[in-house]
Chain A
Amino acid sequence: MNPAKAISSLSWRRGWVAVMSLLGLPAVWFGGLYLAAIGAMFVTSFWTVDSLSGQLIPGFSLVNFQSLLSGHVYIRIAERTIFIAAAVTITDVILAWPVAYAMVRLAGPRLRAAMMAAVMIPLWSSYLARVYAWRLILSHDGVLNWALSAIGLPNAHIGYSNWAMWIVFSYLWLPFMILPVSAAVERIPPSLLEASADLGARGLATFRRVMVPMALPGMVAGAISTFSLTLGDYVTPMLVGGRGSDFIGNVVYSNVGVTNNIPFAAAYAVLPLCVMGVFLLVARKLGAFDAL
């Protein structure tokens, strides 16, 4: 019997061998690298650092969490991060619906392919290049103000501000919302829409009472992407944010790369982990994972 055959018959007789051989590597990756890294971060968050020599002092101390909770700075930064992540998610849901609906229900096959390409193409270019492009658009002498003055409107002062961050984030993560929403809209059987119309529901009522509930898992799946991507970002706030635009990520970044206070950064990084945990629990309640 050749070895390949031996393995295949063994895995037929003992089902768990097949399962183990397929899952072994991912399990090592997930347990050994992914969970271990989060575990290390969690443990480090209770350590402290010697301010003059910069040496880590292992131990158990709640001082990092105390300084996070005392004083309003870090709470305000967390609130800002979560608020903008939520605003971006809602904006993207609103923007994604017409695009997804037109793409799936209205467009012919050719236009549909073209629209799909148009949604995906920005993802092929560098994230940084796109953020810098927005910086040029929104700056004082940028395209936006040039266009505004060309039609006789006063200048907008939204370069380097939270508004700029909101716009740029909404733009950056929009494809991640359009794709799941259009997939969800596609799965709604047309017969249900017709049935709704037969029962006397107008367009808006059908949208509200049939389409939205049925596409909810798609929206929530998209929201997981847009919300978590915004929550963890620090580059966009650094480049297009203004004064008072720091995110959790910026504080983590400056504590690791600038201040060398890794335990404090770890403690603060535990927060988005908790926020995402709550978010995913709610998402599960809403049925986001039913289609998996």
Chain B
Amino acid sequence: MKEAFKKKFTRFTLCLSIALPMAQGAAAMEPLQSIGKGEGVLNVVAWEGYAQDQWVKPFEQATGCQVNAKYAGSSDEMVALMRSGGGDQYDVVSASGDATLRLIYGHNVQPINIALIPAWKDFIPQLKSPDFNTVAGVHYGVSYEWGPNTLLYNTKVFPTAPTSWSVIYDAKYKGKITVPDNPIQIADAALYLSKTDPSLGITDPYELNQTQMNAAVKLLKGQAKLIKKYWALASDEIQLFTSGDAVVGAAWPYQTNTLQAAHVPVAETIPQEGATGWADTWMISAKAKHPNCAYMWINWVTTPKVQAEQAIYFGETPANTLACKEMDKIQPGSCEQYHANAPASYFDQIKFWKTPLSACGNGKNDCLDYTVWQREWQAIKG
């Protein structure tokens, strides 16, 4: 009896502590009113390939803000880093859509004064105030770039591109498959199942009830027997493909670009089932020690030129529509190749990463939240 009460009470306080910050969300903090003098330092948490000398060095010269970059391998790691040491160790983070809400509701990031970001007006409409970084009209970040998670394969093993994600669940490639070590990978399985097993009724790969989750976990547990290694950093996967330990896997375009530059016979494709993807946002820590440098950084990386450099380097699509021309200047045809001029329908095709919550989009409340996803993922890996 006592135990049951305690459980209920804990649940109640838990709900409160989640609901309260949601209600307060916007009122928590006043955004910066004007950009002052740089503080000389900027501590960055970013994806691999997001803080390249190509645009970091000119930024340091132009603003005097010395950039210290820390790479993270997953959204979970980014959230943990932004919360570590009281939350004032890092100034900005390139958070994907499955981390942004956790950072906003966790009071880890501050509201952005969008008037101080001139490039914002040139963004594609979907990325001006997307619901993963703008809550109740308050901006908590500035969109950056986006792209699909792709299927990477060795062209010697696959002379023609695989048309289905089924190859990464196929026993034929046992011991030669690699996928990211990331709970959000469950969504890739769910997306695949939404097409191959319509009876499950999966409409959104990030909103799974217990039955749908069980099906995805079953698929992934079967896959686990075929996996060579779950990669944690992009460089891990690059080495696996270089040495021939893996011949097919889930990847980012960054790996494909790096491997192709090293003349490893690989190519990438988006299979018929579609793809999950990411849309990244630069956010500023609520306790940032260098807010002026942080704003200068966001302004720097949203300029068409840096947007183009980033897009070509990583193999993704810029948020700034003016970047298209710059991309073709650097590498003719790249605007088209990386979909910088693609119609809105292309954007809408990709199932962008978002934080799984217990509230499903359809009004029901029987979806599994991210804690469950993490637990299931550990169980899948064994």
Contact = CB atoms under 8 A, between A and B. Distances in A.
A interacts with B: yes
Given A55-B17, A140-B244, A141-B244, A242 B107 contact: no
Contacts of B227: 242-243
Interface stretch (A201-209, A252-260, A273-281): A252-260
Interface string B52-80: 00000000000000000000001011011
A67 B375 contact: yes
A249 interface: no
Contact of B245 (A67, A160, A246): A160
Contact of B79 (A54, A73, A74, A243): A54
Given A142-B243, A160-B245, A54 B381 contact: no
Contacts of A77: 382
Given A53-B105, A140-B244, A258-B74, A246 B381 contact: yes
Contacts of B14: 50
B296 to A, nearest CB: 28
Contact of A52 (B18, B81, B382): B18
A53 B244 contact: no
A246 B74 contact: no
B216 interface: no
A244 B381 contact: yes
A241 B230 CA distance: 10
Nearest to A63: B10
Contacts of A243: 224-225, 227-230, 381-382
B224 A159 contact: no
A61 interface: yes
B378 A157 contact: no
Interface in A126-162: 139-142, 157, 159-160
Interface residues of A, number: 34
A244 B382 contact: yes
A78 to B, nearest CB: 12
Contacts of B228: 160, 242-243
A153 B35 CA distance: 67
Nearest to A246: B381
A160 B370 contact: no
Contacts of B243: 139-142, 159
A54 B378 contact: no
A141 B102 CA distance: 42
B106 A54 contact: yes
B379 A52 contact: no
B369 interface: yes
A220 to B, nearest CB: 32
B21 A53 contact: yes
B232 interface: yes
B245 A53 contact: no
A3 interface: no
A171 to B, nearest CB: 20
B232 A238 contact: yes
Chain B interface bracket (under 10, 10 to 19, 20 to 34, 35 or more): 35 or more
A50 to B, nearest CB: 5
Contacts of A109: none
A51 interface: yes
B196 interface: no
Interface string B338-371: 0000000000000000000000000000000111
A71 interface: yes
B265 interface: no
Given A139-B245, A141-B244, A244 B375 contact: no
Give the secondary structure class of B's interface: helix
B18 A50 contact: yes
Nearest to B107: A53
B89 interface: no
Interface in B240-280: 240, 243-245
Contacts of A71: 379
A73 B102 contact: no
Interface string A224-245: 0000000000000010011110
A177 interface: no
Residue among A53, A254, A260 with the highest chain B CB neighbour number at 10 A: A53
Interface string B4-31: 0000001000100110010000000000
A61 B3 CA distance: 10
A251 interface: yes
Contacts of B369: 51
Contact of B382 (A55, A140, A246): A246
A284 interface: no
Contacts of B77: 257-258
Contact of B105 (A52, A157, A244, A260): A52
Contacts of A48: 10
A105 interface: no
A53 B375 CA distance: 18
B76 A73 contact: no
Nearest to B244: A140
A76 interface: yes
B83 interface: yes
A241 B243 CA distance: 16
B155 interface: no
B17 to A, nearest CB: 5
A229 to B, nearest CB: 22
10 contacts: A50-B18, A51-B369, A52-B106, A54-B102, A54-B106, A139-B239, A141-B243, A160-B245, A243-B382, A256-B80
Given A50-B14, A140-B245, 13 more contacts: A50-B17, A52-B105, A54-B106, A55-B106, A73-B378, A140-B243, A159-B245, A241-B229, A246-B382, A254-B76, A258-B76, A260-B76, A260-B80
Interface of A: 48, 50-55, 61, 67, 71, 73-74, 76-77, 139-142, 157, 159-160, 238, 241-244, 246, 251, 254, 256-260
Interface of B: 10, 14, 17-18, 21, 74, 76-77, 79-81, 83, 102, 105-108, 175, 224-225, 227-230, 232, 239-240, 243-245, 369-371, 374-375, 378-379, 381-382
